Amino acid sequence: MAAEQAAGNGLVVVACCKEKRVTSSPVPALDLYEGWVVPLVRDRVAAGSTERNRVLVLSARYGLVTADTPVSTYEQPMTEERASALSWTAPGVLRRHLARFPSTEALLLMEPRYARVLGPVPVARARLITDPMGRHGDIQAVLDSWSWP
């Protein structure tokens, strides 16, 4: 797909991480996480931007949420039991989000356990990167191909 066709058409789903801001009140989900590759994604999407509407966070505590969903600091590992519970709700949230913000491509930045929670992603092309810390260049290349800032 040509870059001009993909512009504004991608979806990023990034997994939560252990490193979080300590907050006294809820903050947007994408602003809570300080580790993994969340800062890289956050640096590419400004608050209120069209691209930010195309970012979802898969949280072990909150499930699949938009970048701007208010969340609070928590400790909740993605255990097999938690992944199983979230696998009942996350695919529906994903389908509803794609109905609102149609995308032909998705970039999934998460470990395999998180990816299993999502199940098959209903887009023409889904790219799963399970080791994103060493693949910043690949992530940037995908976002560049979508003409994200």
- pLDDT tens by residue, 38-94: 999 999 998 888 899 999 999 999 999 999 999 999 999 999 999 999 999 999 999
Question: In angstroms, what CA-CA distances link 28 with 25, 32, 34, 52, 142?
Answer: 10, 7, 12, 11, 24
Eight-state DSSP code of residue 82 = H
User: Residue 76: what pLDDT?
Assistant: 93
Q: Which fold has domain 6-145?
A: Rossmann fold (3.40.50)
Single-letter residue type at 1: M
User: Residue 65: what pLDDT?
Assistant: 98
Domain residue extents for the chain = 6-145
Alpha carbons 20 and 135: distance in angstroms, whole number: 21
- pTM, to two decimals: 0.92
Alpha carbons 114 and 109: distance in angstroms, whole number: 9
Q: What is the pLDDT of residues 72-83, one digit of tens each?
A: 999 999 999 999
C-alpha angle with apex 78: 72 to 81, nearest 5 degrees?
A: 120
How far apart, in Å, do the first and last CA atoms of the chain sit? 19
